[in-house]
Amino acid sequence: MRIPISVTPGATWRSRTPTLRGHIDPPTWGRNLDRGSTVQRRIEQADFERTNRDRNPVLTPGMLVIWERSPWRVVEIREIPQDLWPAPWPERWDTHFRFWFDGSQSQPAPDPATWRDRPINLVLEPDGGGKRKHLASRASFVWDVLPEHYAVCRSCGELPPCREEELDKTVNRQIAKSDRLLSIPAGACMGCGEAISGRQKSVSFPGPNLWRLDLPAGTARFHVRKECSHWVYEYGEQWRGQGAPVDEAQPALFDGEG
């Protein structure tokens, strides 16, 4: 029997191929060293700035970027006149300007032509040819820039790790989790699987056991200790998601003696 468990949330997807950070506007941040300091510190500053430029190139036509897990070639980058800004950029600009106007105004008035979050039109084409895509993107968006040599999945054509690979890993994790839960004896902690003695504090959830459908209601119990707290939180989120009654919104935190 396989037990349906909530889908394991995945981390933000990152290409397995090392990438650079592409910018529309040249980055202005960086380490500041005293220009009047020692020669060694000035050399270190110059090395840092050079490395920064190499890792954070300004986006230009011809570069390869990642969009929707696939390689796309930059065809054109166009500024959009302010009177043609699509929604919601006009509203965002008004908010940005009002924030400056209501502040100390110690800085010059912001210019929509150089506003870091202004919209720009980016024309992309699938690497190797295909239908072009026109994207309205904020200028501050950081693009993943691919090298000319990169790998793709032979099956689906996506950059690895592709969706199928991630799904296989998720399924394998869920199967392993289901197998572990099935090995936990009735009455034991549903997190660590160890027995809960009469003198140990525990937290219990009323209703059907969401992790062990073969066990009777009211058997979802956990130790009240740091090692098991993340299992309590995970089960609690799933339990509340099942529409727990209002009068059962919080399970009894202490069953047994301390």
Work out the number of other CB atoms within 10 angstroms of the CB of residue 69. 17
Going through the chain in order, the beta strands assigned E by DSSP cover: 20-22, 64-67, 70-79, 119-126, 133-138, 143-146, 202-205, 220-223
Token pair listed for 74: 């930059």
Rg, C-alpha atoms of the chain: 27
Picking from 179, 240, 239, 182, the residue whose alpha carbon sits closest to that of residue 215 is: 182
CA atoms within 13 A on the CB side of 213: 6
Q: What angle do CA 143, 13, 87 make, to 5 degrees?
A: 50
pTM listed for this prediction: 0.65
Query: CA–CA separation, 163 vs 184, rounded Å?
Result: 32
Tens-digit pLDDT string for the chain (258 aa): 333 333 333 458 899 999 999 999 988 765 555 555 677 777 777 777 777 888 999 999 999 999 999 999 999 999 999 999 999 999 999 999 998 888 866 788 899 999 999 999 999 999 999 999 999 999 999 999 999 999 999 888 899 999 988 888 888 888 888 899 999 998 999 999 999 998 899 999 999 999 999 999 989 999 999 999 999 999 999 998 887 654 454 554 444 444
| Helix, strand, coil share of the chain (percent; to 5) | 30, 20, 55
Query: CA–CA separation, 15 vs 144, rounded Å?
Result: 9
